[in-house]
Structure 1
Amino acid sequence: MSEHVKVVLEDGVMEITLDRPDKKNALSQAMYAAMNEAMDRLDADDAARVALFRSSGPDFTAGNDIADFAAAAASGRPPLAGVFIQKLAAARKPLVAAVPGVAVGLGTTMLLHCDLVFVAEDARLSTPFVGLGLTPEAASSILLPARIGHARAFEMFVLGEALSGAEAARLGVANRALPAERLDEAAREACRRIARLPRGAVAATKALMRDSDALLERIGRESAIFGERLMSAEAREAFAAFMERRPPDFSKLG
């Protein structure tokens, strides 16, 4: 279990807290391993009725820790993010998120698998995959356009434009936008309400509302393309530019 992911189960609510505030909760392989373990526990433990994803500090997550992610990719080991994405799509119990500050990459796409999402009014949700030479993941290539329309989703994926928390609520990515100081309590109250409901009816309703097989099929297609892109010259240039703190130059890559 990573020291940067805290998991607490109380009164039916499993809180999964990203706890790396000094790095804006950037996600490392160790953090993914801990979240995968938490998702397995959520599925297996009858005492867990609902999961709440939240964070320490002013931000939800800056997305993947680029250095850690690049090192995992270079080693030939499959990034654990892919396992986490599959577990989100296959989850049988409700998932809730409380999102302050920045939510980058998977920090935004994972919300599309949550059943309730509460965001801070001034949150910034972004999916800047193309700028890193990559493509969308987590079935977001179908889920995000379904929520906000093709044009706005393309703008987020390709141009890296962000949604504010208020826009996310208006467009249906989130249930409610709140002042940041009210975020956790609103999400926790929703979780407590879910935990008191008949679990069979909750699970059946979630299953009827989401076609997990179709989502997993799209995730498989996305993962294959993402893996190819990860090894591309464009991605190598993007990662090198990030580490060297300079703008990437794709002009000579064809």
Structure 2
Amino acid sequence: MESALLQTQQHGVLTLTFNRPAKRNALNTTLYQQLSAALQQAASDEQVHVLLLQGQVDCFTAGNDLADFVGKNALAADDPILQFLHTLADFPKPVIAAVGGPAIGIGTTILLHCDLVYLGDNARLQLPFVELGLVPEFAASLLLPRAIGHLKAAELLLLAEVFDAQKALQLGLTNQVVAADELLQFAYAQAIKLAIQPPKAVQKSKALLKQELKQAVHYVIGLEARAFAQALCGEEAQQRITRKLEGRSKPIS
């Protein structure tokens, strides 16, 4: 069976590719564990200067695998999801995201922790937490309003509507929009440019850019996780999640 996370390392760039195309690259427990392990290893590997996160050109990730949430009523400190969130938030090297197709839930909030973000013109982003009876995660309630202002953040989080790459560009959530069929090649070329910069200077500069909010990010990740777990075990969320899963399983007539 092919791994849910593909890893390639060349020219100082570690590329991590979500590889669950049949599940639209939804992140499950196994994939979170693999991501955390890859990040921890990359952090100490002096041959890795840049991390590139991607899916396929037509799908970044559909977000958390909702099947993992059915009947779940807690997020312990050692939960693979939380371990990944904290690990990426602390990752010392620059992170680039190449996003084509759907980027749902954590597929969008993860971008708030990246240093460079490139979207294909086919990208479709969404923060569907409220729609599912849940609350934001990955410190989105802290970082999103700071990035785009309270009103726009409230619009994206509370109405939970899909928005396209051009709107993401207007909001400042991406560095550039490129043609979908050029996305992965373009993002890799940008990663190479970054990888040849002096690595210590790059890492120190990233640390300075992140320093102001570093402690707050970890605090809010925990705060949101507790609220998320409370919402998750509620009737509202379980009904919404079950209904969505049932809708996906219905055959197309």
Same fold (TM over 0.5): yes
Shift of 1:159: 1.3
- The CA distance in 2 between the partners of 1:37 and 1:179, in whole Å, is 32
Structure 2 residue aligned with 1:136: 136
The SS at the match of 1:103 is strand
The SS at the match of 1:30 is helix
1:85-109 deviations in Å (ceiling 9; x for gaps): 1111111100000000000000000
- After the TM superposition, which residues 22-171 of structure 1 pair with which residues of structure 2 at under 5 Å, given as runs? 22-56=22-56, 58-70=58-70, 73=72, 79-171=79-171
The SS at the match of 1:8 is strand
The SS at the match of 2:241 is helix
- The CA distance in 1 between the partners of 2:229 and 2:66, in whole Å, is 15
Counterpart residue identity of residue 222, structure 1: E
Structure 2 residue aligned with 1:212: 214
CA RMSD of aligned residues (A): 1.9
Distance 1:30 1:105, change over 3 A: same
> If the length of structure 2 is used for normalisation, what is the TM-score?
0.91
Structure 1 residue aligned with 2:176: 176
Contact 2:74 2:229 in 1 (8 A): no
Spell out structure 1 runs of 4+ moving beyond 3 A.
Answer: 74-79
Structure 1's unaligned 5+ residue stretches are 247-254
- The CA distance in 2 between the partners of 1:35 and 1:16, in whole Å, is 8
Shift of 1:68: 2.5
The SS at the match of 2:135 is coil
Counterpart residue identity of residue 223, structure 1: A
- The CA distance in 2 between the partners of 1:223 and 1:84, in whole Å, is 13
The SS at the match of 1:245 is helix
Counterpart residue identity of residue 110, structure 1: I
Counterpart residue identity of residue 86, structure 1: H
1:172-203 deviations in Å (ceiling 9; x for gaps): 11000011011111111111111111111101
Distance 1:224 1:202, change over 3 A: same
Structure 2 residue aligned with 1:241: 243
Contact 1:14 1:50 in 2 (8 A): yes
Structure 2 residue aligned with 1:185: 185
Shift of 1:75: 8.4
Counting aligned pairs with the same residue, the percent is: 38
Structure 1 residue aligned with 2:16: 16
Shift of 1:66: 0.7
Contact 1:20 1:56 in 2 (8 A): no
Distance 1:75 1:215, change over 3 A: closer
Highest RCO, 1 vs 2 (Cα 8 Å, sep ≥ 6) = 2
1:62-118 deviations in Å (ceiling 9; x for gaps): 0111112336x2587664222111111111100000000000000000000000000
Counterpart residue identity of residue 151, structure 1: L
Distance 1:75 1:52, change over 3 A: same
Contact 2:126 2:163 in 1 (8 A): yes
- The CA distance in 2 between the partners of 1:68 and 1:231, in whole Å, is 13
Contact 2:75 2:225 in 1 (8 A): no
- When the two structures are aligned, how many residues end up with a matched partner? 245
Structure 2's unaligned 5+ residue stretches are 249-253
Counterpart residue identity of residue 225, structure 2: S
Contact 1:122 1:166 in 2 (8 A): no
> If the length of structure 1 is used for normalisation, what is the TM-score?
0.91
Structure 1 residue aligned with 2:251: none
Contact 2:133 2:237 in 1 (8 A): yes
- The CA distance in 2 between the partners of 1:163 and 1:50, in whole Å, is 28
Counterpart residue identity of residue 184, structure 2: D
